[in-house]
Amino acid sequence: MSVQRFDNINLLRAFAALSVVVYHVIEHSGWQSFPREGPLVTFRIGWLGVDLFFVISGFVIAYSAVCLYRVTPAVFAREYWRRRLARILPLYLVTLFSWILLAGTFRLPPEEFDWQLFTHLTFTHSFWPDTHGAIDGPNWSLAIEMQFYLAIALAVRWIDRTPGWRIWLYGIVIAWAWRGAMYMLHAGEDAFHIFVAVTQLPGVLDEFGAGIFLAKLVLDGPAPGRWRGPAWLAAAGVAGFGAMALYWPWATYWNVPAMVVFWRTLFAVFLLAVVASAVYLPQILSHPAMRPLDHLGEVSYGIYLWHLFAVVGVIHLGGYQRLEALAGVLALTIATAMLSWRYLEKPIMDRARRRG
């Protein structure tokens, strides 16, 4: 079967990564004057870019895994893991050890080093508050991603034969049950401990499930008509308005049980519509004039993993604040991500494809 390319997804990847970068610049520089209303307020909650990454991963990984399984079921596991590890491991390991050597050594007491290294190398560092974000903070989500990859590998046969709506429904029920149980278990603790507990893999299956639902719709649904892209775009507008209208009055979030348990599912509906719009609308990033934006999406993984190095260098060591800090962090992060893409990530991925 032919595997489609969805170039517009790179636009969403770029936006998700840059949202996280801007959010961290605001937080680390104490940028109190950054707009609190209007379109730019989106970046004050740029941490939601991780949720967009989860929905995108649900779609892209499920779509590619099911396609691979249908074509080569006998060697699926080998090919699947070769591609996934070639994409994730090289840059993850380089940034992990770079952080230990350059930026994070002072944060890791010697008696904790072996434990920290073990959990990060086994992608279990998301399980415990003391290892969650301890080395290159944003990579906690890489542990969740790798656990999701394992779940896809184990369940691909079931995913292939099960309707997408049913998979998503199961994901929603599991996520609600997990978040509800974790919230009760950690009631009275600070927001960070609640966050760590509720964002374990079962607690974000409604977001991954939204992406899987879309993958099954693309693979097995009716042929898309010209109306489908605009319809999803309209749905994104309605769902986004509803999700954020509910969010802002309860933006303290972590002290509101109903928000913690249920709101992210509504937000996942919005993100599903956004990703579906990118899939079904004309692929504008395939046009040569859009190549710079497409490339930002290609290097978004590097932007995500390198940006905290730039934050430390520009803000904490360089002393830059606000707009100057943002410009410096973006420039340094994007340049580093482009270099790591060209000389590390892409060569390894190309070699993995040739071996296949």
Whole-number pLDDT of residue 166: 98
Neighbouring residues of 289: CB distance < 8 A, sequence distance ≥ 6: none
Q: Within a domain: residue 336?
A: yes
Distance CA 292, CA 336 (A): 16
Whole-number pLDDT of residue 305: 97
Q: CB of 167 within 8 A of CB of 212?
A: yes
Q: What are the residue ranges in the chain where pLDDT is below 70? A: 1-3, 103-111, 356
DSSP code per residue over 72-101:
-GGGHHHHHHHHHHHHHHHHHHHHHHHIII
Residue located via tokens 């049950």: 177
DSSP three-state, residue 12: helix
* Rg of the chain in Å (alpha carbons): 20
Distance CA 209, CA 49 (A): 17
Q: Within a domain: residue 149?
A: yes
Whole-number pLDDT of residue 39: 86
Cα 341 to Cα 57, 94, 242, 335: the distances in Å are 19, 12, 38, 10
DSSP three-state, residue 184: helix
Whole-number pLDDT of residue 101: 86
In 3D, which of 205, 186, 203 has the Cα closest to residue 194?
186
| Residue 27, both tokens | 């937080």
Residue located via tokens 């060569």: 347
In 3D, which of 105, 101, 64, 98 has the Cα closest to residue 81?
64
Q: Within a domain: residue 247?
A: no
Q: Within a domain: residue 165?
A: yes
Q: Within a domain: residue 242?
A: no
Distance CA 120, CA 286 (A): 36
Q: Within a domain: residue 262?
A: no
Domain that residue 198 falls in: 9-177+194-220+284-355
Distance CA 143, CA 123 (A): 4
Tens of pLDDT, residue by residue over 182-202, are 999 998 899 999 999 999 999
Q: Within a domain: residue 253?
A: no
Q: CB of 332 within 8 A of CB of 315?
A: no
Whole-number pLDDT of residue 104: 54
Distance CA 144, CA 69 (A): 23
Whole-number pLDDT of residue 352: 82
Overall number of domains in the chain = 1
In 3D, which of 335, 286, 291, 295 has the Cα closest to residue 313?
335
Q: Within a domain: residue 46?
A: yes
